[in-house]
Structures are given as C-alpha cells and as structure tokens.
Amino acid sequence: MASAEDDLIARYFRPLATHAGALGLIDDAAILAASGEDIVVTTDAIVEGVHFLPDDPPETLARKALRVNLSDLAAKGATPAGFVLTLALRDINEAWLAPFAQALGEDAAAFGCPLLGGDTVSTPGPLMISVTIFGKLPTGTMVRRDGAKPGDIIAVTGTIGDAALGLACLKGKKLLDDASACEALIARYRTPQPRNALAEAVRTHASAAMDISDGLAGDLAKLCAASKVSATVEASAIPLSDQARRILSSGTAGIEMLIAGGDDYEVLCTVPENRWAAFREAAGRVAVAVAGIGRVQKGNTAPVFLDVSGMPIAMKRLSYSHF
C-alpha cells in the first residue's frame, strides 16, 4: 500500500529525523519551536553536472549538500538547528541511497543539525539536492553582509583556492605530478569543511561576514557592495595550502584561479581593528585558522588585490558563474 517514496523515506531518512519536531517524518510538516531567538534561514542547491560531477560518490554529495548550507550558518554566526531536504532522483537506486543517507546522517549528528522533513521527487534530468537549513541565534545578532566599515581587517578561515584546484584536477588538468597532492585538493572540492565552530566568534566580533562559495574575489566584492565600501587585499597574505603553493610556484595555475574559483566554503569576515586580537584568540580556542588578508577602504570600487610589489593584479573575472 505504501508508495515507493514512502518506503524510501521510512528506510533511509526516518533514522535521521532525530528532532522531536520532525514527527518521525510521518507528517506533512515539521515544527520548529523558537523561544525568543531569531531563526536564520538559508537555502542552497547542488546540481549534477553543474555543482558536482556525475561520478562523485554519494557519501561526499550528501556531505557537500549539507555542508554548503552549514557554511552559511557559520558565517552568519548561527547555531545549526535542523534542515529540510529536497531530493530529485532519476530512479530509486538503493546502492546510491544507502550510502547517501548514511553519510548525511553522520554529518547531521556531527554538526547537531537533524533532518526535519523534505520532499523526494522524480526527475528525468540531472540529480539535484536542495537543502534549506535553519539556525538559531539571540535576537538581532545575525552577522550581515552590510556592516563592514573602512579600517576593518578582512579575514578568511582555512586556505583559499584548494577546491578550485581540486575541480581542475578532476577535469584532467595536470597541475602537479603528485597523485596524493591531487587527492587532497579533490577532497577539498568534494567535502567542504564548514567553520561552524567559529560561529560564536564571528557573531561576537565581526562587523560583516559571508561564506566564500563563488570565489574570494567575487564574494568580497559582494560584501563590499552591500556595505558600500571598497577593500585592498595583499595577495601574499591569502592563506594557501602546501599543494596550492607548489602549484603556484610551478606555474601550472595562477593566483586568479585560486581567488576567482569557487567552492571554498571558508568564512570571509571583517573585524574592527580593536576587536582583532579578541577575534584571533576566540578562533584559536576553537582551533579554526584565521588570517588577516587586507583592509576595508572607503569607496565604491571593486576590491583591489595587490601583488608583492604593491601593484594591482589584473583579473578577467572575479568569481565563478554557472550561467
């Protein structure tokens, strides 16, 4: 009597619905109780052939779909509260669904972000995974894009550009003669590391923040535009992985590929100078690497990236666009 969709939900996704408000996924809706906090809502979808490759494994797809959304919550200063999942599938393939749901459940548990509900639809086209995520924070404390002030220090977490290099590796570009280095970059593309541990520090100290999904250069330009400011960035201060440094030295890729590529899912934020020491200390306590890379400037021009000699780096494009 139960439909194929009901079976699929019962078998694979009910175990992930650990939140009381999910009602075990037997209802049409979930309940999110809020006791005076603000609920932060954001949504991001990934599409086969656009945001991931057809042979990416189901485990990493599950993690990526959730983590690109967790990354938004981290940048907004919010604590994860739960998510709903829309899955567009060509068919019901147990060999794909079982590891997908398993990995999704592991991440949901690890990040304290339970499945609240969802919709599974049939599609004749590419696989698509859409997540809408909810976070909580004290009323009025969400860190917005539009609060950067001239003089603020521009900071990023982790290292920049690895995912773009990983994608280039997956597409067959010969960047390094070192298979394990390529594997490390591919892992950064397939499995982002959202910086949710940093959320409280961002909320406490940052004047503006967003996560980097379309490339540092383009996303900083968006933050500056929202804040009605400009910025200068010292390219040499941008934190890079060993692999990225070696690729830059070898000349198989340039800095533009790293800062205008996508999929970093690091936090980009601006911190007032008098908060910088406290921010760094708070980041240290949660073991998230942060680096100051430049300054917010007055003006309304696009951010300028300076090379070691202080000259602006010319870029053909600031960010990745799928259209």
Residues 13-42 that bind a second copy (CB under 8 A): 23, 26-42
Tell me if 264 is assigned to a ligand binding site: no
Confirm or reject binding of residue 286 to a second copy (CB under 8 A).
no
> Binders of a second copy among 37-66, rule CB under 8 A?
37-47, 49-51
Sorted by sequence, the CB contacts under 8 Å of residue 58 that are 6+ apart come out as 96, 97, 99, 100, 103
Q: How far apart are CA 193 and CA 186, in angstroms?
A: 13
What is the closest distance, in whole angstroms, from the C-beta atom of residue 104 to a second copy in the complex?
16
Q: For 19, phi and psi rounded to 5 degrees?
A: -80, 135
Q: Which is nearer to a second copy, 5 or 106 (CB)?
A: 5
Contact 92, 38 (CB under 8 A): no
Confirm or reject binding of residue 124 to a second copy (CB under 8 A).
yes
Q: Which is nearer to a second copy, 32 or 170 (CB)?
A: 32
Among 58, 64, 66, 72, binds a second copy (CB under 8 A): 72
Sorted by sequence, the CB contacts under 8 Å of residue 135 that are 6+ apart come out as 39, 40, 42, 73, 76, 78, 79, 80, 81
> Binders of a second copy among 74-113, rule CB under 8 A?
75-76, 78, 84, 86, 88, 91-92
Q: How far apart are CA 73 and CA 198, in angstroms?
A: 10
Write out the two tokens for 264: 């970093």
What is the closest distance, in whole angstroms, from the C-beta atom of residue 8 to a second copy in the complex?
8
Nearest to 122 by CA among 242, 3, 255: 3
What is the closest distance, in whole angstroms, from the C-beta atom of residue 319 to a second copy in the complex?
7
User: What would the x/- binding string for a second copy be over residues 293 to 322, using CB under 8 A?
Assistant: ---------x---------------xx-xx
Contact 275, 216 (CB under 8 A): no
Neighbouring CB atoms inside 10 A of 297's CB total 18
> Binders of a second copy among 214-233, rule CB under 8 A?
214, 218, 221-222, 225-226
Q: Which is nearer to a second copy, 182 or 212 (CB)?
A: 212
What is the closest distance, in whole angstroms, from the C-beta atom of residue 246 to a second copy in the complex?
31
Q: Which is nearer to a second copy, 23 or 187 (CB)?
A: 23
What is the closest distance, in whole angstroms, from the C-beta atom of residue 211 to a second copy in the complex?
7
> Binders of a second copy among 238-267, rule CB under 8 A?
none
What is the closest distance, in whole angstroms, from the C-beta atom of residue 242 to a second copy in the complex?
30
> Binders of a second copy among 178-197, rule CB under 8 A?
none
Confirm or reject binding of residue 73 to a second copy (CB under 8 A).
yes
Confirm or reject binding of residue 171 to a second copy (CB under 8 A).
no
The dihedral through the CA atoms of 200, 204, 210, 211 has a sign that is negative
Contact 212, 194 (CB under 8 A): no
Neighbouring CB atoms inside 10 A of 164's CB total 26
Tell me if 42 is assigned to a ligand binding site: yes
Question: Do the bridges between strand 79-89 and strand 153-157 make them parallel or antiparallel, or are there none, so unpaired?
Answer: unpaired
Q: Which of these segments, 120-128, 192-200, 278-286, 308-316, binds a second copy (CB under 8 A)?
A: 120-128
Tell me if 322 is assigned to a ligand binding site: no
- Over the range 133-151, which residues count as b (16 or more CB within 10 Å of their CB) and which as e? bbbbbeeeebbbbebbeee
Confirm or reject binding of residue 203 to a second copy (CB under 8 A).
no
Question: Do the bridges between strand 128-137 and strand 79-89 make them parallel or antiparallel, or are there none, so unpaired?
Answer: antiparallel
What is the closest distance, in whole angstroms, from the C-beta atom of residue 83 to a second copy in the complex?
10
Q: How far apart are CA 227 and CA 235, in angstroms?
A: 22
**Residue list, annotated binding site for ATP:** 118-119, 145, 213
Binding positions are: 28, 42-44, 51, 72, 118-119, 145, 211, 213-214, 263, 320
